[in-house]
Chain A
Amino acid sequence: MKSKSSKSRTSIWINSSIIVLALLIASGLGTGCSMLRSYTEPQLTNEERASNLESFELVWSTIRDKHWDPDLAGLDWQAVHDQVLPQVEQARTSRQYDHAIRGMLKRFEQSHFALLPKDVYKDMNVSDGKGKRDGKTGIKVRFIGQQLLVTEVEKDSSAAKMGIQPGWEIRKIDGDSVAKHIRRLERVFKDKPNLFVLVSNSSARNKLRGEGGTNKTIVFRDGSNRTRKLDVPLLANTEEKYRLGAMPGMIVKFEARRLEGNIGYITFDSFMDPVRIMPQFEKAIKSFADCDGIIIDVRGNLGGLPGIAMGIAGWLVDDEQEYFGTLRTRDSELRLVVNPRLNVYQGKVAILIDGMSVSCAEIFPAGLRDMGRAQLFGTITAGQVLAATFMDLPNGYFLMFPFADYISKNGDRFEGIGVTPDVEVDHTRADLLSGRDNALHAAMLWINEETTASDSDTLVGLK
């Protein structure tokens, strides 16, 4: 019965694809963002306090109604409301308000909760590189043990021009000691190793950002073990930010190149901006059609839209019965399926992962491995695997919260656990200084099936 309107039925047809694909599996965005705190110390006005109260009620009721777990992680959610409400009512500054709401969300001990203060949220949406976090040194870092090491220096960056090299150790940033910072985080996250890795690296990454046109004063131990104090300029990132609804704006990076040994290499830092990323991915896959293998590097990838993971898999998997896993809300289950493309790449696929591979960047490698399509190299991922949606609040804040659980095809949950690589391999200072990326090297060896005695350590666990 068509009733009055084919229009209504068209609406139904539209629903089925948009609703599902618009959900987000990107905790990393929340982790990085929620690390930022910018408080307006002035006292809140009466209007701001009323708006904060309204927003608190909205956050509380939204989570009550939409969080994926009907038991709400065993919390007495009404009791939580009654405990937090007085804190919200009595909050006289933004810091106090934030503390109350974050405390409420933290009770879940789950990923994909994020609350951005309105000034941070607003700043992240500033375009033309004028946001307070839009300036970059070009230095990528990772904690290896207790050391914060430079793992990569972006070409043409201010760090590259100053001769900063992978393998250099960072001792201080703007006077703050890295050693003290890491010891503090070790105490806070002593029982949560995955979270420790994620938070320590996220905080280091954020510490190296700032306003374009300013400097970061960084104390290094260079490749000759000399201490060097450098003022590294922050170059304003003027690329157009990607926007999706209420999500904060972000720059999405993509790179593809050929490596020696007839290997294709693709890296991107989030599963976002499909309009720009997917054509680039298609072009790369097609150009690598004759390669013996493709390495997809999702280290440091913050996750994003599951539709993109499904789409990329379509170039690598030719079985339309395959799927990554299942998203579960309170009343629905949906599979992240694969639509095989017309020309599926048939060669080897290696995926690089690490403790900063988050959410969709965990589902993607795990799923392709479950399909028998990829080998994973690197270190265990962050263990932040839920599906989230997001909204802006009446008081100008941004909220992200999980509304679906994720179970892999093989029945695994990765939330709080992470995805373990097939070949565990991490950076070392010595190898970085010599110009070698160990995980990348291991993946290349596997693709080319080359082994030497000196590579034996790298090949532990290699299939």
Chain B
Amino acid sequence: MKTTNTKHSRNFTILMAILTMLFVANTCLQAAEQVADSQQEILPTGKEVVERNIVASGGYEAFAKLENRTAKATIIINPAGIKGKITTCHEKSGKIRVRMNMEGLGIIDKGYDGQAFWEKNPMTGPRLVDGKERAMMVLLTQFNPTEYEDHYQKIENIGTETVAGTDCYMVRFTPKTIKAFTVWFSIESALEVKREMTIYNQMGELEMEMRNYDYREVDGIKIPFKTISRGFNMEEVITLSRVVHNQELPENRFTLPNEIKQLVARSEKKVSSR
């Protein structure tokens, strides 16, 4: 009897313990939800975080003064230890030219002349960029960060998270044609700390993580002088050595290389013959 009572008591105790736990858990959940709700109430919107970032990065006036930016950087791809040098030139119209001189791989040229996104690679040859890769590049090559709104269906602040000791807002950007991506902005500095996004290229999609370091001010604009990107089991470290704004650019800076012009002509011919 005693045993049964004990067993019964134990079972009851266990049941009570479980019920209590559930009750407590539920209460905790409710409390947590209330806390979350209250936090939700005080979380800035996604757009507000972006606006803070723009201000922290230099502000509308400073960005409006930029006509172009040229930069030089070094790159190393690990674990293979492949090194290279990069020069970029980016204009407020969105035109861009990037040249990467990679040891052992040669010179890779990429660009946008206002109409065609293109690439010339010593291995794979010249090509025009289209589809989702182009849509991604349209997004990423916009020169003035203050002109962002039209590119996204939604910009949402989805919460907070700590990244390498830095408390951040997580902002989810949903572009109109490609996958949504997330950017972590420091709550304190409002600068971008990390981003996770799908990178599109001719071979497919890669999930990449990018982290920014060593912000420095150039002409009133804060720029990360070091970026580490990880994906496909590799890591790229890009380190800026020089950033210059509003240089006088040669007229042909963004002119398409001959092979690219020929590809454009071929592409136009295909379209018109359909």
Which positions in A face B, CB cutoff 8 Å?
A: 1-24, 62, 66, 242-247, 273-275, 278, 305, 307-308, 310-311, 314, 329, 331-337, 339, 341-342, 389-392, 403-404
Residues of A within 8 A of B121 (CB): 17, 21, 307, 311
Q: A10-B96, A19-B234, A243-B104 are contacts. A4–B222 as well, Cβ < 8 Å? A: yes
- Is B43 an interface residue when CB atoms closer than 8 A count as contact? no
Q: Is the CB–CB distance between A22 and B82 below 8 Å?
A: yes
Q: Is the CB–CB distance between A245 and B223 below 8 Å?
A: no
Kindly report which residue of chain B lies nearest to residue A339, judged by CB atoms: B127
A243–B80 Cα gap in the complex (Å)? 11
Residues of B within 8 A of A4 (CB): 53, 56-58, 145, 191-192, 212, 215, 221-224
Residues of B within 8 A of A333 (CB): 204
**Closest Cβ–Cβ distance, residue A26 to chain B (whole Å):** 12
Residues of A within 8 A of B58 (CB): 4
Q: Is the CB–CB distance between A342 and B100 below 8 Å?
A: no
8 additional A-B residue pairs with CB within 8 Å, beyond A275-B106, A341-B125: A1-B151, A3-B57, A5-B223, A11-B227, A11-B229, A21-B124, A22-B77, A389-B233
* Size category of the binding interface on chain B: 35 or more
Kindly report which residue of chain A lies nearest to residue B58, judged by CB atoms: A4
The residues in B between 104 and 146 inclusive whose CB is less than 8 angstroms from any CB of A are: 104-106, 108, 110, 119, 121-127, 133, 137, 139-145
**Closest Cβ–Cβ distance, residue A273 to chain B (whole Å):** 8
Q: Is the CB–CB distance between A244 and B206 below 8 Å?
A: no
Selected A-B contacts with CB under 8 Å, 29 pairs: A1-B50, A1-B152, A1-B173, A4-B192, A6-B142, A7-B69, A7-B88, A7-B223, A10-B71, A10-B88, A11-B238, A14-B75, A14-B238, A17-B119, A18-B102, A19-B231, A20-B232, A21-B105, A21-B123, A244-B82, A245-B80, A246-B80, A275-B122, A307-B123, A307-B124, A332-B207, A334-B206, A339-B126, A404-B233
The residues in B between 77 and 114 inclusive whose CB is less than 8 angstroms from any CB of A are: 77-84, 86, 88, 90, 96, 98, 100, 102-106, 108, 110
Q: Is the CB–CB distance between A332 and B206 below 8 Å?
A: yes
Among the stretches B11-19, B24-32, B161-169, B193-201, the one at the interface with A is: B193-201
Q: A10-B90, A331-B207 are contacts. A245–B123 as well, Cβ < 8 Å? A: no
Q: Which residue, B98, B104, B231, has most C-beta atoms of chain A within 10 A?
A: B104
A352–B223 Cα gap in the complex (Å)? 53
Q: Is the CB–CB distance between A8 and B203 below 8 Å?
A: no
Q: Is the CB–CB distance between B203 and A334 below 8 Å?
A: yes
- Is B37 an interface residue when CB atoms closer than 8 A count as contact? no
- Is B263 an interface residue when CB atoms closer than 8 A count as contact? yes
Q: A4-B224, A12-B197, A20-B206 are contacts. A389–B53 as well, Cβ < 8 Å? A: no
- Is B236 an interface residue when CB atoms closer than 8 A count as contact? yes
- Is B48 an interface residue when CB atoms closer than 8 A count as contact? no
Q: Which residue, B86, B125, B148, B200, has most C-beta atoms of chain A within 10 A?
A: B125
A20–B207 Cα gap in the complex (Å)? 12
- Is B20 an interface residue when CB atoms closer than 8 A count as contact? no
Residues of B within 8 A of A17 (CB): 108, 110, 119, 121, 201
Q: Is the CB–CB distance between B199 and A16 below 8 Å?
A: yes
Q: Is the CB–CB distance between A310 and B183 below 8 Å?
A: no
Q: Is the CB–CB distance between A5 and B144 below 8 Å?
A: no
The residues in B between 203 and 222 inclusive whose CB is less than 8 angstroms from any CB of A are: 203-208, 210, 212, 215, 221-222
A242–B106 Cα gap in the complex (Å)? 12
Kindly report which residue of chain B lies nearest to residue A4, judged by CB atoms: B57
Contact of A66 among B77, B100, B102, B233 (CB under 8 A): B233
